[in-house]
Amino acid sequence: MALDAETRDQLVETVRRFVTGRLRPLEAQVSENDAIPDDVIEEMKALGLFGLSIPAEYGGLDLGMEEEVLVALELGRTSPAFRSAFGTNVGIGAQGLVMFGNAAQKAKYLPGIASGEIITSFALTEPEAGSDSAAVQTRALREGDHYVLNGAKRYITNANKADLFTVMARTDPSKPGGGGVSAFLVERNLPGLSVGKPEKKMGQQGAHICDVVFDNVRVPVENRLGGEGEGFKVAMQVLDRGRLHISAVCVGVAERLIADCVAYASERKQFGQAISQFQLVQGMIADSKTESLAAKALTLETARKRDAGESVTMEAAASKYFASEMVGRVADRAVQIFGGAGYIADYGIERFYRDVRIFRIYEGTSQIQQVIIARETLKRGG
């Protein structure tokens, strides 16, 4: 249910102040410690950030897609690790439950997800299944009133913090591709479920990814999400929304970097004048601003279409493809404008340069987005 304009604007302004006053001063600390302080997490919970997209009847803010995009834009103006702390609760970790869960499942889990008491995670990727998401090999064999899960997932965001996993597993090995895959709500404390240590990553310190192993994990039948064999459909519909959220975060990061570039270029002097006066520097700023505006317009337009009930599979893929590639170019130009200062840690530009690289990979690589865009365009006849 859409917020009225005044309430929406108040929410966006509250998030903007939180980002500026609370999160940005902690960026270097979070990167150095590879951890977000517990008190910051509690403040995020109090602001309702863990339940942005959860229906109001379960304690969430029940934001529409456009509203979520506007909030994500603000969250993009600080280190992406902060958003990742609650991002799975807002997006891929909970939206399968919101979209496909039955009344009992929603009542059991969504209030805790909305409050941040339950942290969620989305377990799809495997050593041999990532871009080819229908190639899932984790098995779920039914034994009476349980499914027995065996297999391993890789690079699972927030796995070390998660209380509840949405797991894609193959229930019918005789069916190739997505038709034999089902989705399950798997609680962290079930015997046989183990989580590996966080991986050392190129960027986004403070956000963790881990392997998740299932060794004869018995999951009650009532924890299957949707019908048997519907897991691939669950994953794809969840990713449509997640891709728009990521697109908005990319735009927010780009806007942050552009503002930092303008401020630095206006103060840094070479040849007796601010470098902002040189046309080649202005060209980089102009290119970054133009691409950011284009990504923002595409993302907002697609969000409005989704809120109107239109299918946006192609548009969401195009938004994510363009926005994630765009922010990579903006970050590269930012390093160039800052020069030597952009390459050292003190200014934080090199950190953002590393942080944004993952946007072109997760929730579908740029190449997968190209495949989707082309496929959907061909279906539509242009």
* Residue of 74, 291, 350, 363 with catalytic role: 363
- The total number of residues written for the chain in this structure: 382
> What is d(CA 151, CA 129) in angstroms, rounded to the nearest whole number?
12
Residue 363 annotated among the catalytic residues of the structure: yes
What is the torsional sign of CA 110, 114, 118, 121?
positive
The residues annotated as belonging to the active site are 363
